[in-house]
Structure 1
């Protein structure tokens, strides 16, 4: 049996949280600020938790309020999207999509396409984060993520392969002049290597072994950086040897700003996937972003298949 009061106060809470005051929410709802405040108070009493801190100047959300607001916005967005489909007969993307992208790859290859997508769909809202951190999609309410590297088996996550990125080992001419080039795996271990931020784990590169297979091989990382752009800048500055994808370093190698070395050891490929929480029905707002990423991956110039 559905509780008829379950949604009571929900709109008042959402608008108050977004506007920062009961008065501003009341103007939108054509209610007094007192009526809005009482509706939010009744909602808090029903939930048994405090959602907002009230001051004379502005409302702020509690931690519980932040979590509840995120859920409310997601539910209201899906309801709005479904109603739009029912009334128009078209699956027009409506609402907010939370997206997690690898920092440098996302900015260089995905962001321009997302901006064009947003321009084509005025009712589609995007919340996009660029980070190398692997977010928990379900726990954090993320709709879509792009992952580079092998995926873990997870029955709750759906995935589609977009392509792969190829890795090369490169170094600035200035570094070569000072330290010379590593000629084999053993010499590589004596050089200053540039790696991604490992957070307590030893840096490892994807190198070809004696039987021709690629495997993660520990290296000595003198410098660790939080994203590919920083690693590229460190390599260009002559700070050390780096293993980076061709889409990031290809132009610098062609211009002679970086030199590829140890090609017999490098060339490993890492898969690129788009992933999303598995569900029987993918909302149009999520589907349109997935389709755009697939379309982008199929373009020769996209960088997914360097």
Structure 2
């Protein structure tokens, strides 16, 4: 078992560093030793984990799947060791957290502010930013992120849950334009796409009954790069929007917005807590991650949920 864990840690380090040479330097091993460890691991698993050329290497599909599982396993081991080592210590010091603006304001802030009330020796420095923050460069202890993690190398990631989207419109719009019952009817309606990346509208994603995912490209005369602005435009009757449930739940409850396309499940994204793999996570980070994992599912479903 020890040999297997050793092989896994070497494999993850190679995948994170992007090369056998860099991994050998970081691990304090020879390049030959690293190569032999990976070769033994591939032989034991019966699959090739890396595509290798003279100039570059990349994970195979099997390697990518194995990497994601191994990363979670190593993170769980590290968390278990840290919990044993610091279970008798109350969190202290400044916890520096980065979170997306709206998700941070509606979901993350209430959880972490409540946490600091229970731990008077702990301070919170919560920064809202929609761009990808470099944790090391900006001295961030913990980041909350939505969707894929393009810079996962060197990071530990823990899932906080996932959220769905609500396709919705104002009653005034539906009274005038009618209520679509199928995706094929959307082109005849005014849609309100969220245009986050250089004005390009984000596609709406739906899960089919057989588990497949389809993307539906929407257009419209109004394109906005702020989700709150999209929600307000929908409330004003400007069109149909596809928005996170944690953002529009109160508007749906009040009747300002009404769900449409109820037979189609609109997909959102996963939410993660991430922190640097290089540094030992202090107790305040571990406590914050545990609190987020416990409370975030209810917040993602309904931001005003009580805990």
TMscore range, shorter length = 0.5 to 0.7
Give the match for residue 204 of structure 2: 205
Give the match for residue 130 of structure 2: 132
C-alpha change, 1:139 and 1:206, in structure 2 (3 Å) is farther
Is 1:174–2:176 an aligned residue pair? no
Quick check: 1:208–1:264 contact (8 Å CA) kept in 2?
A: no
Q: Residues 96-136 of structure 1: CA distance to partner in whole angstroms, max 9, x if unpaired?
A: 22211222222222212222222233332222122332323
Give the match for residue 304 of structure 1: 300
Q: Residues 46-67 of structure 1: CA distance to partner in whole angstroms, max 9, x if unpaired?
A: xxxxxxxxxxxxxxxxxxxxxx
Give the deviation of 1:212 after TM superposition.
Answer: 5.1
Q: 1:148 aligns with which of 143, 146, 159?
A: 146
Give the match for residue 190 of structure 2: 192
Give the match for residue 5 of structure 2: none
Q: d(CA) in 2 for partners of 1:224 and 1:98?
A: 33
Query: Tell me, what secondary structure is at the counterpart of 1:194?
Result: coil
Unaligned stretches of 5+ residues in structure 2: 1-85, 303-307
Unaligned stretches of 5+ residues in structure 1: 1-87
Q: d(CA) in 2 for partners of 1:153 and 1:100?
A: 15
Report 1:67-78 matches (<5 A).
none
Give the deviation of 1:305 after TM superposition.
Answer: 4.7
Quick check: 1:184–1:262 contact (8 Å CA) kept in 2?
A: yes
Quick check: 1:203–1:220 contact (8 Å CA) kept in 2?
A: no
Q: d(CA) in 2 for partners of 1:164 and 1:221?
A: 27
Q: Paired residues, what number?
A: 217
Q: Which 10-residue stretch deviates more, 260-269 or 202-211?
A: 202-211
Give the match for residue 285 of structure 1: 284
C-alpha change, 1:156 and 1:189, in structure 2 (3 Å) is farther
Give the match for residue 262 of structure 2: 263
Give the match for residue 74 of structure 1: none
Root-mean-square deviation over aligned CA pairs: 2.9
Please report the TM-score for the alignment, with normalisation by the length of structure 2: 0.61
Query: Tell me, what secondary structure is at the counterpart of 1:140?
Result: coil
Quick check: 2:157–2:275 contact (8 Å CA) kept in 1?
A: yes
Please report the TM-score for the alignment, with normalisation by the length of structure 1: 0.61
Give the match for residue 4 of structure 2: none
C-alpha change, 1:91 and 1:195, in structure 2 (3 Å) is farther
Q: d(CA) in 2 for partners of 1:171 and 1:144?
A: 36
Quick check: 2:245–2:301 contact (8 Å CA) kept in 1?
A: no
Give the deviation of 1:241 after TM superposition.
Answer: 0.9
Give the match for residue 106 of structure 1: 104
Give the deviation of 1:166 after TM superposition.
Answer: 1.4
| Runs of 4+ with deviation above 6 angstroms | none
- Higher-Rg member (1/2): 1
Q: d(CA) in 1 for partners of 2:90 and 2:99?
A: 24
Q: Residues 131-167 of structure 1: CA distance to partner in whole angstroms, max 9, x if unpaired?
A: 3323232343322111222334723111111111111
